[in-house]
Chains A and B, each alone.
Chain A
Amino acid sequence: MSKYVLLRHRDIPDIKELKVYQDQGGFKAFKQAVTSLDPGQVTEIVKASGLRGRGGAGFPTGVKWSFMDQNSWPHYVVANADESEPGTFKDREIIEENPLQFLEGVAIGSYAVGAQAAYIYLRGEFWQLAEFLDGKINELEKAGLLGENLFGTEYSLKIHTHLGAGAYICGEETALLESLEGKRGQPRLRPPFPPSYGLYGKPTVVNNVETFTNIPLILENGADWYRNLGTEDSAGVKVFSLSGRVKKPGNYELPFGSTYRELIFEHGGGIINDAQIKAIMPAGASSSILRASDEVLDTPLEYASIRKLGSDVGSGSVIVIDETISMDWVIKKTIDFFQHESCGKCTPCREGTYWMSHLTRQIHSGKKTEEQIQLLYDVATNIQGKCLCALGEFSVMGVLTSIDRFPQDFGREPKGSDQG
């Protein structure tokens, strides 16, 4: 058996081939679900496993599935393969190398919520991946593993791919649904949430690629098995995308409860030129940025502990900053990104990211006066809590935490406490 749950191609290289995947037990879980479990039973197993969404918000997956409105039909499933957060590149590897496990997860999820159609929304740049998945879906239909009356039952399922066209905001689930409906990808007001009002106004489950990819082995090995891989707080395993100033950037699958020290220094080989590590961005450009103190490096990686430190596991996109980098440059880059990607629907985010972009550029180009820094801080504080979706809220995290936790980089006196 592979030591991996998700990146199984690392020791079973041809697992993307249907025959190899089936030799490894592939599609047994789906068949078993369809032929001998009620949809509700599948949802209960996923609930009991403690699996939480891997797209960023960490919402319990089984609980989300149980929210589907049973009085409104048809139901839909959407796999979120928009993957556009700077520092995130795990879903791409999963789809490229272990596509059948992902597709089986989508299939099981669809059965559990009674959906007969599922869409995989991929960022437009994943054009080749979509073609590749289309080929795999085709093969599964020919093998009788997708399509009409599966395994001699009443249940039928079609999976389709759909390409976005370059817009980070389409990763936000309601913007994604708008985009999938053929409109501009701008978030909807919530509530209602997708499980009651989703694609074409029908109940819809949206889950991340990695979330779905966990499902087949949870069914095969049981909820307890999965739970026991992680910690009390955070069940199972997570793929961390490690990037920035490390010697060996890449995806690393680790059980929850591992530490940043293990991730960065054992797996990632340490810092380029053995420089001093300075900061960690745990969740891509959207991160609250942490000072890489010993306490932070040795804290178990799990949802609750990272939150206690003042950040979030998010999608597990760990960007490492070393002593050669100044934080005023880092926030200039992140704000550049958010300003470019703001969908423009609400004023605090549209205007706020524009202003912050202007200010961070000035500050980076040397205008580090106290007034400028305070103005940036005030603009950021004013955006907080006023945005229609999380993009606007994310945009200020890096700014506020950088100024708070790395005052020297902004020409301010260092503070005493560790995380500001």
Chain B
Amino acid sequence: MNDLLSKYPEEIKKILAKYPPEGKRSAVMPLLFLAQRKEGYIREQALSEISQILDIQETEVATLVGFYTLFHDGKAGSYRIQVCTDLCCALRGSEDFLTSLCEALEIKPGETTLDGLVTVEEVKCLAACDKAPMYQLQGKDGISYHENCSVGNTLEMIEELRESGTQKQEETK
């Protein structure tokens, strides 16, 4: 049984169609993103499912998860707030922003809030250097950029995430 294949048959067909037959392996990163979509991290089982789809070794899939920073093999908060503290943003106050945000959430960089909602992380340049402080929000549905941020509006954004999460839970009850 290949879970990934049965869950996303159309998406997988579309991905494979992008590459020539001799380049089938190119689909491995798109498939890893697909495997990560619902839960925010990649289960071990998905590695073997992807290796089956592409006729490559499971270790060849696993090595990519370690190499690329956007793939996660472990659970974190439902959302990752990834603050850029690289040179240009740091020149415009992003390190102070990170410190104050973490203080307000009562965590340290790299940690997750007690309710498991958000993990705050430091990342390198995100190509938004003129709009610091900024972060990307990585969640189940992808990545969005938040620019020219203040601690205040970031906390509001987190509150909205919390509310929409509770709503969804109630809907599924």
Contacts and interface: CB of A to CB of B under 8 A. Distances in A.
Task: Tell me if A's interface is mostly helix, strand, loop or mixed.
Answer: mixed
Interface of A: 74, 83-89, 91-92, 117, 123-128, 160, 162-168, 179-185, 199-200, 241-245, 249-251, 285, 319, 321, 325, 330, 333-334, 337, 340-341
B154 interface: no
A181 B54 CA distance: 12
Interface string B112-150: 000000000000111111110000100000111100000
Given A165-B29, A244-B91, A250-B130, A199 B23 contact: yes
B18 interface: yes
A268 to B, nearest CB: 10
Closest 7 CB pairs of A and B: A165-B68, A166-B69, A249-B130, A182-B25, A166-B70, A86-B125, A182-B28
Residues of B in contact with A, size category: 35 or more
Contacts of B27: 182
A83 B125 CA distance: 9
A84 B84 CA distance: 12
Contact of B29 (A126, A164, A251, A340): A164
A331 B59 CA distance: 37
A245 B136 CA distance: 22
B63 interface: yes
- Best-surrounded residue of A83, A127, A251, A285 (most CB of chain B within 10 A): A127
Contacts, number: 135
A92 B29 contact: no
Contact of A127 (B67, B86, B142): B142
A285 B86 CA distance: 10
A101 B95 CA distance: 37
A368 to B, nearest CB: 20
Contacts of A87: 87-88, 125, 129
Contact of B67 (A83, A167, A244): A167
B70 A128 contact: no
22 contacts: A74-B20, A84-B124, A88-B129, A117-B20, A124-B70, A125-B70, A128-B142, A128-B143, A162-B29, A165-B29, A182-B25, A182-B54, A182-B56, A182-B64, A243-B88, A243-B92, A244-B92, A285-B125, A319-B87, A319-B129, A325-B91, A337-B125
Nearest to A343: B67
A337 B124 contact: yes
B19 to A, nearest CB: 8
B87 A85 contact: no
- Best-surrounded residue of A163, A241, A319, A333 (most CB of chain B within 10 A): A333
A337 B70 CA distance: 16
B127 A181 contact: no
B172 to A, nearest CB: 26
Given A127-B142, A128-B142, A337-B124, A165 B26 contact: no
A319 B88 CA distance: 7
Nearest to A201: B22
- Best-surrounded residue of B29, B32, B128, B142 (most CB of chain A within 10 A): B29
B30 to A, nearest CB: 7
Given A165-B68, A199-B23, A341-B124, 10 more contacts: A88-B127, A92-B128, A117-B20, A124-B33, A124-B70, A162-B30, A184-B64, A243-B92, A244-B92, A285-B86
Given A243-B91, A244-B88, A337-B87, A89 B28 contact: no
A122 B129 CA distance: 18
B90 interface: yes
A85 B125 CA distance: 7
Contacts of A165: 29, 32-33, 64, 68-71
A254 to B, nearest CB: 16
Contact of B127 (A74, A84, A325): A84
A166 B138 CA distance: 12
A221 B81 CA distance: 46
A88 B125 CA distance: 9
